[in-house]
A and B are shown apart, each in its own frame.
Chain A
């Protein structure tokens, strides 16, 4: 069983059910759009998949392996990469270094190898540099590699987080509103990049408020409302779904 399988997952904060009984399966290589109004539970679902929040109920498996009890760094180790909705950058490090951190999971040199400059350290440094170079290139950030990450404008900070996630060579990429705060040209670049990534066979889950944008990219779309799945289908099916129009599109400006 390859791909991501979420079964009957629930997560509540105090009395509020942010996610209630969500089941979905994302096939290997699929680009899945997740849409829903503010507070629908999209980010919470992502955090439960990446392990930053523990699910109260339910099971999650990745390529047939149960992961719902693993801490986030182990899920990252299995190939889950997340770009958070809020900017989370490593201040005091350059853009290049921020991206290099992404390659942590694909390398293994530890303190001893680094302190003694063992061959494992040299091999990993070469590998990390190459992966970061490729990720910076893909996201158009090469010219900013030596800039202090904290001094980047907001849009580029978002691209940098995407570069960091790509540097990890993920098998499942979770993108929480990657297009928010981007200018029109940057947005088109992002769409182009996501197309390219999808064509490489990477499994992607994309949360996005811009329904038209999701419709252009997604193989299938899942609609969340009040923490539950209210519809799922191809972009065409979702556009015509009466419940979706009522609960979500109808309410949108």
Chain B
């Protein structure tokens, strides 16, 4: 794709996603917001997995840290804006601390360790009175900026859009740069990366913190939007879902993370709507989610091993030549 057609595609994409909230009904609007928040997390995870080659099966933990940080600060009377800024910072800080031992591990070991990290954090949240225990935090006030109150779904849709645009721009800028090339380099050969002068440990930690910061930002918006958070809002299923979305969309492309997130989220929503009709048992939706994740993952690995977006790109290239 030439620079010009890419610009045009980007412009159309931005215009359509900006116009959508105006025409969606309230149920669809909440899916739009959820989708945007999820994409903020998966763009960060895509940097971590697709570019730097490090897996995290605990990304929902950072989403949760952001949500709890925003919620707790707001409930203690801090202005919502402070909570929204603190959410990504707290998540990134947690990643910096936890990443020191975690990132010594690689591959499956790292995946299991991040999963364990999330389970531990969930059980802490479950048992701490100041975090609301298993009930969580309730009555979190709405987001506001001075006299500007964000009290409609529409306003949260635009807050989410702006946050996602900022995250995508940040990720793109970082990837196409000296530190971005360093991350891609260390993903395939840490030894050669070190011999080029790259401090591998520090770079891994930085991208881990960056991806956690994105997740924390999404969590912060989520807390204000829903008005309550509890340990149950951040199940392992959520972390698994993020990884599936990134892999389905295609590793090593930001657009892949966006496409994978949209495809998986919409499919799960569709099945949820079928699954929550009268007479259907309550456990069905989460079982369906797992089934969707499993089927998608297997289908992609078998038929589109590089993911949806890279497959489309090479299809286009072939059509062009």
Residue numbers of A with Cβ under 8 A of B are 50-52, 71-73, 76-77, 81-82, 84, 88-93, 97-98, 100-105, 107, 109-111, 113-117, 121, 124-125, 128, 161, 164, 168
Contact = CB atoms under 8 A, between A and B. Distances in A.
A168 to B, nearest CB: 7
B200 to A, nearest CB: 7
B191 interface: yes
A50 to B, nearest CB: 6
Contacts of A71: 194, 199
Contacts of A88: 189, 191-192, 195
Contact of B195 (A81, A89, A100, A107): A81
B195 A90 contact: no
Contacts of A51: 194
A104 B182 contact: yes
A90 B185 contact: yes
B199 A125 contact: no
Contacts of B170: 115
B193 interface: yes
A100 B181 contact: yes
Contacts of B198: 73, 101, 104
Interface stretch (B7-15, B104-112, B172-180): B172-180
Contacts of B187: 92
A114 B195 CA distance: 22
Nearest to A91: B188
A179 B182 CA distance: 27
Given A71-B194, A104-B178, A115-B173, 16 more contacts: A73-B197, A84-B192, A88-B189, A88-B192, A90-B189, A101-B185, A101-B196, A104-B182, A104-B196, A109-B178, A110-B178, A111-B210, A113-B177, A114-B178, A121-B178, A168-B197
A111 B188 CA distance: 20
Interface in B185-240: 185, 187-189, 191-200, 206, 210
Contacts of B197: 73, 76-77, 104-105, 168
A161 B185 CA distance: 13
B198 to A, nearest CB: 5
B185 A93 contact: yes
B194 A92 contact: no
A117 B173 contact: yes
Most chain A beta-carbon contacts within 10 A, residue among B180, B181, B252: B181
A141 to B, nearest CB: 17
Given A76-B197, A114-B174, A168-B197, A93 B206 contact: no
Contacts of B178: 103-104, 107, 109-110, 114, 121, 124-125, 128
B297 to A, nearest CB: 21
Instruction: Select the residue from B178, B195, B196, B200 with max chain A CB neighbours within 10 A.
Output: B195
16 contacts: A52-B191, A71-B194, A73-B194, A73-B200, A84-B195, A90-B185, A90-B192, A91-B188, A92-B187, A102-B196, A104-B178, A104-B181, A107-B178, A114-B179, A124-B178, A125-B177
Q: Is the interface of B mostly helix, strand, loop or mixed?
A: helix
B185 A114 contact: no
A90 B180 CA distance: 13
A109 B199 CA distance: 14
B180 A89 contact: no
Contacts of A107: 178
A110 B174 CA distance: 9
B250 to A, nearest CB: 12
Nearest to A110: B179
The 9 closest A-B pairs by CB, nearest first: A105-B197, A114-B177, A76-B197, A88-B192, A72-B194, A90-B185, A91-B188, A101-B185, A73-B194
Contacts of A168: 196-197
A89 B185 CA distance: 8
A71 B200 CA distance: 11
Nearest to A116: B173
Interface string B230-263: 0000000000000000000000100000000000
A90 B184 contact: yes
A105 B187 CA distance: 18
Nearest to A113: B177
A154 B76 CA distance: 63
A52 B200 CA distance: 13
Which of A110, A115, A116, A117 has the most chain B CB within a 10 Å cutoff? Answer: A115
Given A111-B179, A114-B177, A115-B174, A101 B210 contact: no
Contacts of A73: 194-200
B196 A109 contact: no
A101 B184 CA distance: 10
Interface string B125-151: 000000000000000000000000000
Contacts of A100: 181
